[in-house]
Each structure stands twice: as structure tokens, then as C-alpha cells.
């Protein structure tokens, strides 16, 4: 896939998302739930927070997308996540896993993630510490935030392809990899990590794009969509309160032309290299 | 009740709400809780999120208003909802039910709603799909969002008057009905459904108004209050981030005069017609 | 400690918080969680919402700060709170308790608070009704909001020093007391209580400052940080939506110089008086 082909695929995906407004089942944490829903609505998708074991299974069978985020899992939510992930796998439907806080300190949630991996998420999205640790390379984290550069974590991705098709790492630069290709997405803003749950919401947006394109193109599209909106918001606002309002504005205002004009993406590796 | 009488009743209700700042017990979903509280504070009421079975009953006995919203119920919350609804009925106190996602797909929550109906909510507030399905007319929904026009759903309301005094349906136009009168509220903005939980927060505002007037006038007042604030916000902002900040501003800035000057309401049917 | 020494200590604390970005474990309510995280990020700290019994204990042993807020406790959260508080006491680490809604109506949560007091929080932060009732002087509250002036509640503080080192009461004026000193912090804005969870987020900010200074200085610093940001936001915006975006902006934009220039604090009592 060339750079031009990838750009075109992203534009088509964005267009399809606007037309279909895919229904995304969100099983996420209490910090992220409102923001995730607002991000999906602004970007063109349709959120539904269905995360209880008594209805998660049936909904996972019909939703266009599914994000599972283990930020603040309750016992009921964990049961629901397992049922939903299993359903997606059985029906060959895409789903995205965000292993928030994965690592040696938070063992309970790390075990939940290990168990969810057996249902083969289409995309694993996290920060550098989470992805490195998931890959068997333990790196220090700070609570749920990373202390590792995304640039280095991407080198560990290979071990994860036994569980998933796509590994996406957010950071100063974002890296998205499938077994035969790695893409770097630049842009965005240093203010983004100052807004809570922006990574969580990004995972949900990947899930939305997965409803209209391949998991790899979906992951690149979601990161580009975020990076452009953040960059535009930061051009006008220097502080988080107004930046965040403008970020939501630009998620909504983005058009297919913007993707071509402003996407700052770089194909790093093809398998033969 | 004439158009002029209804307008006057709404203005008096608004004035009383500003003076009394009614305490509204909110049993709502994780997506909506912060937004609901901010909407109530902006509009002049006082929120309290008391939704656990160990304290919901006593609080339901003293709160000025109660909203029960089944967006993301936990087992503990469901127990609390039943205790609170029962208490309101026993004490002849108004309460509002928002049957989020009611329909054939989400059976668990639909059963919870069916059970809550036995405690006779004063108002049932929902979107067109939820109200149609509750009335026994199954219509397709998209997750928790409707695919049906509010204009048609209102025709099904009659079946619901065995359970409630007022049926309120939000949509491009809102419809509020009691057994002998139906009112259409126009205005608002197409951006409102792009802000998550705006319907949920509207239900809580109806509950606040119920503390100072009849459930029917309360329902019309809350819809008008929302429609004016949304319309004014949309005059200045075209995208959701800044629109939503302005919407909260205008909920707070609204005065009794605005209700008279900007309410776009239409009495559709009196019983004798 | 003189006025000048206190001001200097606050400035040093702010500087240290910017450099260390202390990791704050937040066990808080569903209304406050997103806002609390955004406030901490804006102010220079690093939030992690770890509130389940299966991982709260280990995290409480390593986090730089801990806030326990009983706004909407679940059974799982209550277990986690007890484990975390016990761990902080055993390791002689500071933690902050926010007894939301403490009083004769909400007995269940009041018992949870009573039990948490046995683990000796470094700071108890609340509104006037909560602090008065905790001190054994029952005063009427309105749900989780106070009907008592902070000016009077501070007189009751003495009884609480068997449980804690610092008592902080927010209101039109804020009062912060340790056994030998009471400080009044003025400023802020009447719009603050119209933004839900601002008290809850303030408690978390105290916990963040506790990682870099004494609990008393931390409490004063957090109240001053809030008061200056609120005052600046209110100079430009009169309504809650835009005020709140600007409040977050000013939490982030504040510099050490602002603390000296704008802190409106008054030492009321030294013990010998």
C-alpha cells in the first residue's frame, strides 16, 4: 500500500463513517465515558454504553463496532467484556482493546487483559509502556501514563501479532503497525495528554472506523483524524479548557479534503525491508 | 388551558425554581451524571446523585424531585431505583422515568423499566423509538438512538396513560402529552443530539420543574428551557465543543421574559377535539 | 509561620508540583471523575482512577497522593477505600478525605466515613455542613450542598483534630485550619458552586499538593490555586459553560508569580492568641 493509496483509503473511510454513522458499543471507564461518547458523536459515529453482562452479549452481536477499555473495571463490567469479546470473535467482527494501566503494578487488570487477548482483538491500542509490557518487555509507567517513547515501543510489536492484527501506540508521534507495514502519524498537540481520556476516546474512534474499513486503515484514520483536530485547536488555544472545546469542534468540522491536506503520515517499514 | 395560560404557568414555574432551587435526586448513567448535574445547576436546581440501595429510599422521601434513567444500570443501582420509585409512589411525590434503550434488543433493561412502571412515574420521557416500543408498537432503534420521528410516536401515547400522567418525546420537534392535551415544542438545534446525554439531562430538568408545578407544565417548561438555550447557542456556534459551553451559558442566562418571547409552542389537541 | 513564609511555601509547593507531576490515586464519585482528572492535569499533577479492591492496596502504597471521596460509593469502591486508607496510614503517607454528604440523612455513607476516620486522613475537606456534622454539631444540609456559612463551621474544627492534621472548609470564603493556625482564603467566584464537582476536584488537588509539601501548606496552596483561577475566569465570563473552560485554562496558566500577586489569604489565629 503506497502513501497515496493509504490517504485515499482514509478519505473513503471517513466518508463512509459520515454516511453510516456506525453504532459503537463502548465498554469503558468512568473517567472516559462522557468524553468518549462526545468524541464519537463529533466525529460522525453513534455511541452506546452497553457494558453489563445481562445485555452485553446480544448487543456485541449487532453493534458495528466495539471498544473494550479496562480503565476502571467493575466485576460486572469484566463479565460483560468477556462475553462481548467472545461474541465478536465468534462472529468474526472487529473489536478494539485498550489495556489501560497494563503492567506489573496493576496485576488484576493485567490478568483481565491477558484473558481478553484470547478473543483476538483486531486492534490493540495503548501508550508505549502498556504496549511494551504487553509484548513482554517491562517498562516503568507512572500510574496509567507512560514514561517510554512511542518510537522505541514500536520495536516490540512483533510479539503481539499472535494476538491481534494491528498494534497502535500513541505518543508525541503515533505508530500504527500491522505485520507487513508500520506508519508514523505526526501532528497533534502537546495539549492532548493534558485532556483526560483522550487516548481512551481515540480507541473508541478506531472501533468506529473499523466498522467501515480494515482494522489497519481504521487505526491510521482515527489517529490522523485526532491529530488534525488537535493541531487545529492548538493553533488557536494554548490552554486545556478552550483547547478541548475547539478539539471537539474540529473533530466535527473535519472534511475529507482536510485529511488529504493535513495528514502528516509516513510509511516506515514494509515487510520486505 | 390556553396558550397564554400555559406560557404564564411556565414562567411562574421558572421563577419558583430559581427561588427554591429544588433538590433533585438523580439516578442516572455514567455518561450522563456530570452533564446532568451541570445542567441542573445552570438551570437553577440542585442535583444530588444518590443511587445506592443503602440510602436511596430515605433520600427519595425528602428530595424535591427524582429522575430515574436506566442508561447504564448496575445491580446496586437497579435495587436503589426500585426502592426510590416505590417511596415516591407511597408518598405521592412526582418522579420522572427515562427508559433509555427500551426495546426488543436490550431485554434486561426493558424488564427493569417494566417493573418501574408499576410505581407510576409522573412523566415518561424518551425518544420516539423508546416511547413507541413502550406503547407496544415496536420500532427499530439504533442502539439507544431513535430511527423514528417524534411526530409519529406521539400517536401511540394513549397506551401509556395507564402508567403515567405525562408522555414527553424529544426529537426535531418535541411533543408533550397528558390525557387531555398535546403540545408541540419547536426550536432547539440540530446540534443537540450531537452532545451526549442531552436527553438524559432534559429528563432531570423535568424532574426539577416537577418540584414547583404540575408534571405536565413541568415537562413543557423543561423542553422550552432547553429549546431556547440550544437555539441561542446555535446562533453563535456551529460545532459541538463551543456550542455545548454556550448551551450551558444560556440555560443559566435565561430569564422569565425569554420564555415568553422565545417559546415556540403549539397546542395540538384538546380532548374534546 | 508568617504570611510571607506561607506565601513562599505555597510558591515552592507549586513549583515542585510542576516538576514532579505527582501521581494522585483518585477514588471518587461518578459525577466528579472526569472533572477531577482534568483539574489535576491542568494544575500540573497526574491522575489515576484506581478504585477497585483488587488493586487499590498496592497502588496506594506507591502513589504520591490519594483522595478518597464518598460521593457515590459502590460496594467494591468502599472495600477499596478501606484498603487504600489503611495502607496510607501504615506507610505514613498523606491522604485526603472528602466526606461528601456526611450527615444524619445519609447514614450509610456517614458510617463509611466514620470508619475511614480511624485511618487518620491528613486532611479532611468538606463544605460547612459536612464539617460541622462531622464535628458533632448537626446542621441542616440540602442533599450534598451546605446551608451553613463556612465562617461558622470553622469554630467546630477542634473536635476533628483527634482524627486529622488539617480541616479545610470551602465556601464564599475558604477556611483551612491546623491545630495551631487558621487561614482564610478569599477570592474565587460565585460561579464555582454552579460547576458540579468543583469541591471534589479541589480535594484531589489538595492530595496532589500533599505530595510536595505539608498537608497544611498543601491545603492552603490548593485553595489559593483554585481561587485565583476562578477569579480570573469570572473576570471574563459570567456564565458557567465558558467560565468552566476558562477556569481550567487558568488552573494551567497560573505561575508562581500569580500566587504571590493574587493570593488573598489571611492568617486568622495562631494558637497563643
- Asked, for residue C272, whether it belongs to a domain, the answer is no
Residue of A nearest to C245 (CA): A241
- Higher-pLDDT residue of C146, C132: C132
**Which residue in C107, C193, C196 is closest to B55 by CB distance?**
C107
Residues 3-22 of B with CB under 8 A from C: 21
Domain housing B161 = 3-267
Using a pLDDT cut of 90, give the percent of chain C over it: 89
Residue of A nearest to B35 (CA): A34
Largest CA distance in chain C: 48
Write phi, then psi, for B150 (nearest 5 degrees): -60, -30
What's the CA gap between A59 and B110, in Å, rounded?
14
Looking at residue A229, its pLDDT comes to: 98
Query: Chain A residues with CB inside 8 Å of C252's CB?
Result: 194, 239-241
CATH of the domain at A25: 3.40.1190.20
- Asked, for residue C170, whether it belongs to a domain, the answer is yes
Looking at residue C153, its pLDDT comes to: 82
Average pLDDT, chain B: 95
Q: How far is C72 from chain B (nearest CA, A)?
A: 7
Pick among C113, C145, C146, C240 to test the B interface (most B CBs inside 10 A): C240
**Which residue in C34, C76, C249 is closest to A241 by CB distance?**
C249
**Are the CB atoms for B42 and C240 separated by under 8 Å?**
yes
3-state SS, C73-137, equals: CCHHHHHHHHHHHHHHHHCCCCCEEECCCCCCCCHHHHHHHHHHHCCCCCEEEEEHHHHHHHCCC
Inspect the interface and report whether the beta carbons of B241 and A249 lie closer than 8 Å: yes
- A256–chain C Cβ distance below 8 A for any pair: no
**Which residue in B30, B34, B249 is closest to C242 by CB distance?**
B249
Inspect the interface and report whether the beta carbons of B106 and A59 lie closer than 8 Å: yes
Residue C70 pairs in a beta bridge with none
End-to-end Cα separation, chain C, in angstroms = 14
Give the pTM.
0.97
**Which residue in A48, A248, A249 is closest to B143 by CB distance?**
A48
pLDDT band at B273; cut points 50, 70, 90: very low
Inspect the interface and report whether the beta carbons of A32 and C30 lie closer than 8 Å: no
The sign one gets for the Cα dihedral C203, C30, A197, C234 is negative
**Which residue in B21, B37, B59 is closest to C31 by CB distance?**
B37
- A34–chain B Cβ distance below 8 A for any pair: yes
Looking at residue B151, its pLDDT comes to: 82
- A162 DSSP 8-state letter: G
- Asked, for residue B272, whether it belongs to a domain, the answer is no
Looking at residue A138, its pLDDT comes to: 75
Residue of C nearest to B246 (CA): C241
Inspect the interface and report whether the beta carbons of A195 and C41 lie closer than 8 Å: yes
Residues 173-192 of A with CB under 8 A from B: none
Looking at residue B271, its pLDDT comes to: 63
Inspect the interface and report whether the beta carbons of C144 and B48 lie closer than 8 Å: yes
Q: What beta strand segments (E) does C179-218 contain? A: 181-185
- Segment C26-79, tens digit of pLDDT: 999 999 999 999 999 999 999 999 999 999 999 999 999 999 999 999 999 999
Query: Taking CA A84 as the corner, what is the angle to CA A79 and CA A86, rounded to the nearest 5 degrees?
Result: 100
Q: How far is B222 from chain C (nearest CA, A)?
A: 19
Residue C142 pairs in a beta bridge with C145
- Asked, for residue C104, whether it belongs to a domain, the answer is yes
Span C208-229, average pLDDT: 98
How many domains, chain C?
1
What is chain A's alpha carbon radius of gyration, rounded to the nearest angstrom?
17
Element holding A24 (H helix, E strand) = strand A23-27
pLDDT band at C195; cut points 50, 70, 90: very high
Divide the 273 residues of chain A into consecutive groups of 10 and give the mean pLDDT of each group: 95 98 98 98 98 96 98 96 98 98 94 98 96 86 79 86 96 94 95 97 98 98 98 98 98 95 90 52
Helix C240-253 to helix C215-236 angle (10° resolution) is: 130
Rounded to the nearest 10°, the torsion over CA C253, C257, C258, C262 is: 180
Span C166-181, average pLDDT: 95
Q: Which chains touch B (3 or more CB pairs under 8 A)?
A: A, C
- Segment A140-173, tens digit of pLDDT: 777 877 778 888 788 888 899 999 999 999 999 9
Alpha helices in chain B (DSSP H): 3-20, 33-43, 56-60, 75-90, 107-117, 128-134, 150-153, 198-210, 215-236, 240-253, 256-262
Using a pLDDT cut of 70, give the percent of chain B over it: 98
- Asked, for residue C162, whether it belongs to a domain, the answer is yes
- Segment B152-208, tens digit of pLDDT: 788 888 999 999 999 999 999 999 999 999 999 999 999 999 999 999 999 999 999
pLDDT band at B79; cut points 50, 70, 90: very high
pLDDT band at C273; cut points 50, 70, 90: very low
**Which residue in B101, B240, B245 is closest to A42 by CB distance?**
B240
- Asked, for residue B91, whether it belongs to a domain, the answer is yes
What's the CA gap between B114 and C201, in Å, rounded?
38
Inspect the interface and report whether the beta carbons of A37 and B197 lie closer than 8 Å: yes
- Segment B97-130, tens digit of pLDDT: 999 999 999 999 999 999 999 999 999 999 999 9
Q: How far is A108 from chain C (nearest CA, A)?
A: 6
**Which residue in B32, B142, B238 is closest to A46 by CB distance?**
B142
**Which residue in A30, A38, A58 is closest to B105 by CB distance?**
A58
Inspect the interface and report whether the beta carbons of C239 and B247 lie closer than 8 Å: no
Q: How far is B159 from chain A (nearest CA, A)?
A: 27
Residue B57: pLDDT above 60?
yes
What's the CA gap between A112 and A109, in Å, rounded?
5
Query: Chain A residues with CB inside 8 Å of B242's CB?
Result: 245-246, 249
Query: Chain A residues with CB inside 8 Å of B196's CB?
Result: 34, 37-38, 41, 47
Residue of B nearest to A77 (CA): B74
**Are the CB atoms for B206 and B170 separated by under 8 Å?**
no
Looking at residue A150, its pLDDT comes to: 84
**Are the CB atoms for B242 and C244 separated by under 8 Å?**
no
Inspect the interface and report whether the beta carbons of C52 and A74 lie closer than 8 Å: yes
CA atoms within 13 A on the CB side of A270: 4
- A115–chain C Cβ distance below 8 A for any pair: no
Looking at residue B147, its pLDDT comes to: 75
Query: Chain C residues with CB inside 8 Å of A238's CB?
Result: 253
Q: What beta strand segments (E) does A114-189 contain? A: 123-127, 141-142, 145-146, 166-170, 174-178, 181-185
Query: Taking CA A208 as the corner, what is the angle to CA A204 and CA A209, rounded to the nearest 5 degrees?
Result: 120
**Are the CB atoms for A167 and A176 separated by under 8 Å?**
yes
- C144–chain B Cβ distance below 8 A for any pair: yes
What's the CA gap between C127 and C104, in Å, rounded?
15
pLDDT band at C146; cut points 50, 70, 90: confident
- A140–chain C Cβ distance below 8 A for any pair: no
Q: How far is CA C162 from CA C122, C167, C177, in A?
A: 11, 11, 13
Count of Cβ atoms closer than 10 Å to residue A8 Cβ: 16
The complex's ipTM? 0.95
Query: Chain B residues with CB inside 8 Å of A81's CB?
Result: none
Residues 55-94 of C with CB under 8 A from A: 55, 58-59, 62-63, 74, 76
Looking at residue A269, its pLDDT comes to: 73
The alpha carbon of residue B51 and the mean position of all alpha carbons in its chain are separated, in whole angstroms, by 18
What's the CA gap between C188 and C223, in Å, rounded?
9
Inspect the interface and report whether the beta carbons of A142 and C52 lie closer than 8 Å: no
- Asked, for residue B53, whether it belongs to a domain, the answer is yes
Average pLDDT, chain C: 95
Span C224-237, average pLDDT: 98
- B196–chain A Cβ distance below 8 A for any pair: yes
Residue C84: pLDDT above 50?
yes
DSSP-derived secondary structure for C3-35: HHHHHHHHHHHHHHHHHH--EEEEE--TTTHHH
**Are the CB atoms for A257 and A12 separated by under 8 Å?**
no
Query: Chain C residues with CB inside 8 Å of A201's CB?
Result: none
Closest CA to A6 of A233, A226, A223, A171: A223
Closest CA to C34 of A248, B244, A35: A35
Count of Cβ atoms closer than 10 Å to residue A56 Cβ: 27
What's the CA gap between A50 and C122, in Å, rounded?
39
What's the CA gap between B112 and C131, in Å, rounded?
38
Inspect the interface and report whether the beta carbons of A30 and C30 lie closer than 8 Å: yes
Residue C130: pLDDT above 60?
yes
Q: How far is C252 from chain A (nearest CA, A)?
A: 7
- C71 DSSP 8-state letter: S
Residues in chain A: 273
Query: Chain B residues with CB inside 8 Å of C146's CB?
Result: none
Burial C197-226 (b: 16+ CB within 10 A, else e): bbbbbbbbbbbbbbbbbbbbbbbbbbbbbb
Looking at residue A270, its pLDDT comes to: 67
- Asked, for residue C271, whether it belongs to a domain, the answer is no
Inter-chain contacts counted by CB atoms under 8 A, chains A and B: 95
Looking at residue A273, its pLDDT comes to: 44
Residue of C nearest to A241 (CA): C245
Amino acid at each position: 500500500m503506497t502513501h497515496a493509496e493509504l490517504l485515499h483509503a482514509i478519505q473513503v473511510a471517513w466518508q463512509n463513517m459520515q454516511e453510516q454513522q456506525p453504532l459503537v458499543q463502548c465498554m469503558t471507564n468512568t473517567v472516559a465515558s462522557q468524553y468518549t461518547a462526545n468524541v464519537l458523536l463529533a466525529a460522525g459515529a453513534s455511541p452506546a454504553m452497553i457494558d453489563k453482562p445481562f445485555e452485553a452479549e446480544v448487543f456485541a452481536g449487532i453493534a458495528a463496532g466495539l471498544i473494550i477499555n479496562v480503565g476502571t473495571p467493575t466485576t460486572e463490567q469484566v463479565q460483560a467484556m468477556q462475553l462481548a469479546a467472545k461474541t465478536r470473535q465468534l462472529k468474526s467482527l472487529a473489536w478494539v482493546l485498550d489495556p489501560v494501566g497494563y503492567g506489573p503494578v496493576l496485576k488484576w487488570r493485567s490478568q483481565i487483559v491477558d484473558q481478553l487477548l484470547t478473543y483476538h482483538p483486531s486492534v490493540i491500542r495503548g501508550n508505549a509502556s502498556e504496549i511494551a509490557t504487553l509484548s513482554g518487555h517491562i517498562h516503568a509507567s507512572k500510574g496509567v501514563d507512560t514514561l517510554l517513547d512511542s518510537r522505541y515501543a514500536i520495536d516490540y510489536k512483533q510479539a503481539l501479532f499472535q494476538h491481534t492484527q494491528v498494534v497502535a501506540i500513541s505518543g508525541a508521534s503515533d505508530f500504527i503497525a500491522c505485520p507487513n507495514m508500520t506508519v508514523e502519524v505526526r501532528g497533534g498537540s502537546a495539549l492532548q495528554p493534558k485532556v483526560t481520556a483522550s487516548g481512551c476516546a481515540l480507541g473508541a474512534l478506531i472501533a468506529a472506523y473499523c466498522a467501515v474499513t480494515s482494522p489497519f486503515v481504521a487505526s491510521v484514520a482515527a489517529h490522523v483524524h485526532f491529530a488534525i483536530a488537535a493541531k487545529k485547536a492548538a493553533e488557536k488555544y494554548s490552554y486545556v479548557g478552550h483547547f478541548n472545546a475547539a478539539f471537539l469542534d474540529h473533530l466535527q468540522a473535519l472534511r475529507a479534503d482536510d485529511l488529504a491536506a493535513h495528514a502528516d503520515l509516513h510509511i516506515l517499514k514494509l515487510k520486505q525491508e
